[in-house]
Amino acid sequence: MSVFTNTELVAIFAEKQGTTKKAAKENLDLTFATLSEIVKEYGVGIKMGDFGNLPVVDVPERTHRNPQDGSEVVKPAHKAIKFKAGKGENSVKKALETLEV
């Protein structure tokens, strides 16, 4: 398995929380909605302890080429969220180091 689907993630949360899948889905949805709201409202990144960070970065204006007609399209500068893995015991990097390839 290369990625977990939302349904699989909800099932794991429900098992870990000892609750129903419906309640786990509501908790997970609320968590992601709150993170999105914080970034949208305050325009700042989020530090999540050892797990990692969600910094807001500035993406400069770029020129793209439309593959259908070859015309140039300018994509304006905007902000984006990146994920940067933490370095502690509970980090994504630490989890990846323990995987066998």
How confident is the model over 18-66, as pLDDT tens digits? 999 999 999 999 998 998 898 888 888 898 888 888 899 999 999 999 9
Q: What residues form DSSP beta bridges with 63?
A: 74
Q: In whole angstroms, give the CA distance from residue 33 to residue 25.
A: 12
Output the pLDDT for position 88. 74
Residues in the chain: 101
Output the pLDDT for position 1. 55
Domain residue limits, the chain: 1-42, 43-101
How confident is the model over 58-70, as pLDDT tens digits? 999 999 999 999 9
CATH class assigned to 43-101: few secondary structures
pLDDT band at 101 (very low <50, low <70, confident <90, very high): low
Q: In whole angstroms, give the CA distance from residue 1 to residue 24.
A: 22
SS3 97: helix
Q: In whole angstroms, give the CA distance from residue 35 to residue 97.
A: 27
